[in-house]
Amino acid sequence: MKKCLIIGSGIAGLTAASYLSSKKIQVTLLESSPKFGGRTFSFKDSESGEIIDNGQHILMGCYEDSLAFLKLIGAENNFVYQKKLVVNFLSNQKKLFAISALTFPYPFNLLFAVFNYKALDIVDRFRFIGLLIKLPFISLRSLENLTVSDWLIRENQTENIIKSFWEILCVGALNTNLQKASAKIFYKVLMQIFFRGNFASTIILPKYSLSESIIDPALSFIRKNGGKIIPSETVKEIIVNEGKVLQAISEKNIYKDFDFVISAIPFFSFQKIIPKELPVIDLNLEYSTILNIHLWLKEIPFKESFYGLINSPLHWIFNKGSHINIVVSDADEIAKKTNDEIVKMAVDELEKFTQIKKEYLTRSKIIREKRATFIPDNKILNKRPESKTNIKNFFLAGDWTDTDLPSTIESAAKSGRIAAELILSKIDDEQKKLS
C-alpha cells in the first residue's frame, strides 16, 4: 500500500487526503493547530453557547471542484442551493433591488435579470448589459497590467454601475478593492460565473456551521478510509536527498514512512520550510483582512437569508436566525478600529439601510481574519507555482498555488484534487512499468 504524508488540514489538504484515501492510499495528515479546517472553522461562542464560523463562507454553482469534494465525502446535503440566481441589494434609502434570474433559457435569463436591476437607471442598465454581452469577446491580452478600476473605466461603466454592482462583486469575490485587483483575474471569475450555464451563477450556503457542513464530514471520510489525522504538529523542516523527500520533521516527531508528500499550507508558512532543493519561488503575496461582525438583535426584520449593501463600508448581511452576520471584505483599515467603534459604525449603517434600530442590539462579537486571502493583483500573475515540483515525490497544494483562481475554497479544493491526481497517475505509471 502506498503512503502519503499531507501537511495542513485546510480545504486543500482535506481534499487531497479524501481523494487519495478513497483510492486506498494510506494518508497521514499533520496539522499545526489543535483544530482542523484551516481558514474554514467554527468555534463555540462562550457567551451565547452558539457555534459560530470564523467567517461566513459562500460557494457558487461554478465551484466544480468544491462540489465534487463535497459529494465525495457525502456532505452535499449540508448546503442550501439556489434554483436560480437571486441576490437582493439594499440601498441607503432602505430600498430593495433584486438581481433575479428569470425562467428564460440561459444566458437570456441572466441578461434580463440585469435588465430588471432597478438600482441603475435605464441608460446604465444598457451600458452594463453591453459589457456583459461583450465579455466573451474580450482578449485576456488586452487586460494585461490593468486593474479592475482601469478596465471598468475603459469600458464606460459609470460610477453608479461600479458602486451598485461591480464593486460589490469584485470586493466580495477577490477581497480587495478595484484599484488593486487584477482585471485579468476578475475577468476569469466573471467568465466562470456568467458564461458556464445557469447553475454556475447560483449561490450556495452552508446549512450548518462550517465544521459541521464540511470539515467534520471530511475528517470522518478520511478516517473511515484508514487515514490518520494528527493535530498540533507543526512541520519545521523537510529533508530532501537525491531528489526525494526523505523526512518531514515536526517539533515532536520525525516522519519518514511515506512514498509521497503534499504541502498544503499557506505560502507564508511554506516560506519557512521551503526545501533548498526547490527553485526559488518568486512570489510576493500580500494579504487582506475579512471582518465578520455578529450582532444579536431583539428583532431581525429580514425575510431573505442574505443581502448585499450598495455603497456601504458593510458589504453583506447574512441572516443566521438567532443573529445577523455582517461581512466586511478588504477590511485592513476598518479592522484597526476598536470593537466598540466597529459595532457603532455597523449599527449606524444598518439604521440607514434597514429597519433595524440601535435599541435592537443586545450583544455583538467581532472576528478579524487578518490573512483571510492573498491579494490577486497584477504582481502575482504567472508567478504561482504548479503542484508538481522538481522533487519527484513532493507536491504543492493550497489556494495560492497555480489554479488560475483567486484565494477561495474552490482554488484550495482544485489544488488538492490536482496534487492527488498527480500522485495517483505516478503510482499508475509505476505499476504499468512493473507489469
Nearer to ligand FAD, 162 or 174 (CB): 174
Nearer to ligand FAD, 131 or 413 (CB): 413
CB of 186 to ligand FAD, least distance (A): 15
Q: How far apart are CA 159 and CA 124, in angstroms?
A: 10
CA 286, chain centre distance (Å)? 16
CB of 263 to ligand FAD, least distance (A): 8
**DSSP string for 288-302:** EEEEEEEEEES----
Tally Cβ neighbours within 10 Å of residue 112. Answer: 16
Nearer to ligand FAD, 120 or 235 (CB): 235
CB of 433 to ligand FAD, least distance (A): 33
Identify the CA nearest to 169 among candidates 134, 144, 194, 142.
194
CB of 156 to ligand FAD, least distance (A): 30
CB of 321 to ligand FAD, least distance (A): 19
Nearer to ligand FAD, 12 or 110 (CB): 12
Q: How far apart are CA 50 and CA 45, in angstroms?
A: 5
Q: How far apart are CA 126 and CA 98, in angstroms?
A: 17
Nearer to ligand FAD, 166 or 316 (CB): 316
CB of 87 to ligand FAD, least distance (A): 14
Residue with cell 460589490: 168
- Contacts (Cβ under 8 Å, ≥6 apart) of 53: 40, 41, 42, 206, 209, 210, 292, 325
Nearer to ligand FAD, 331 or 427 (CB): 331
CB of 152 to ligand FAD, least distance (A): 22
Helix H segments across 292-390? 339-353
CB of 232 to ligand FAD, least distance (A): 9
- Contacts (Cβ under 8 Å, ≥6 apart) of 110: 85, 101, 132, 194, 198, 201
364: β partners:
295
Q: Rule CB under 6 A: which residues touch ligand FAD?
A: 7-13, 30-33, 38-40, 54-55, 57-58, 234-235, 264-266, 269, 273, 290, 369, 372-373, 398-399, 407-410, 412
- CA-based angle 171:304:301, to the nearest 5? 105
Respond yes or no on whether the N-terminal peptide bond of residue 34 is cis (omega within 30° of 0): no
Nearer to ligand FAD, 155 or 212 (CB): 212
CB of 121 to ligand FAD, least distance (A): 31
Nearer to ligand FAD, 107 or 376 (CB): 376
Nearer to ligand FAD, 33 or 88 (CB): 33
Tally Cβ neighbours within 10 Å of residue 323. Answer: 20
Q: How far apart are CA 293 and CA 48, in angstroms?
A: 15
Sheet with strand 203-206: strands edge to edge? 59-60, 203-206, 79-81
